[in-house]
Amino acid sequence: MAMNPRKLDNCPAPAKLNLFLHVVGRRPDNGYHLLQTAFQLLDHGDTLHFETRDDDRIRRTTEIAGVPQESDLIVAAGRLLQSAAQGRGSYGKAIGPLGADIAIDKRLPMGGGLGGGSSDAATTLIALNYLWQTGFTRTELMALGLRLGADVPFFIFGQNAFAEGVGEELSPLATPDCWYVVIEPGVAAPTAAIFASPELTRDTKPVRITDFSKASIGFGKNDLQVVAIKLFPQIAEALELLGQYGEARMTGSGACVFCGFIQEHEADRALRGIRENGPAHWNVWKARAIQQHPLSHLLKS
């Protein structure tokens, strides 16, 4: 990642996996689902590039099919930080106009359960906070990020986490140093439809962070998976093939599925097998687990 006072190039927006995802209840005030999950960062994701402007315009310079600028979380994140910095008045440390051009090398699919849009938004908040010298702390940026989506605070949190609530109550979590094979089965799973299903289990018994910490790969389950595979048989097909090599499951609300391997050669074997035997339209890749977000050093605690 190259840095100068006006530019930040090659800023990672890493993918995440939900190593397990349990729905343990619903909030009585608004009906939001209460979750428990373990978030895992990967060394695979989108890459963003930032350059400040001499005006206050926030502009995405890369075209993304099906994602107009006005509905992109990247642009929304920039505008949110811009507004928050201006609202600080004399307490802010911003210098010059708060504008930016943002380019993206998009690798993560939409509707895949890998947190692509949320990760892009988090990277935008972190990078522009640094470039604009707006002085927000990690905690303050996490609070802003929650307004964009429940997963955004995790990426700003900056390390693997045990999450509760709607996903915003985060505790640091040590996870295995391992490799993951991920299948993108070519469908986008709508989160709202899966959470709205009457077949969704909403009363899984809560676990403790120590329960996960004592376990190896394969702890728990994904409560959303049963619903998702009924809506999208492609997810079931991917799970069946990947399951021949280990404990396969869906991440988030889908549609991507993954399997963890302690040894890289085991992951390579699964990768070859799936590429040889799976449908040609699947995107299959290998990634290593990482413990920290690559941009964590740009934030004040």
Q: List the structure tokens of 58.
A: 């926030």
Q: How far apart are the first and last CA of the chain?
A: 21
226, 225, 261: which is closest to 246 by C-alpha? 261
Query: Which member of 46, 72, 120, 151 is catalytic?
Result: 151
For residue 166, the one-letter residue type is V
For residue 89, report the phi and psi dihedrals to the nearest 5 degrees.
60, -130
Query: Which member of 16, 46, 120, 223 is catalytic?
Result: 16
248, 183, 170: which is closest to 209 by C-alpha? 170
151 annotated active-site: yes
Per-residue CA distances from 233 to 216, 228, 255 (Å): 28, 8, 10
Residues 157 and 168: beta-carbon distance below 8 Å: no
Residues carrying an active site annotation? 16, 151
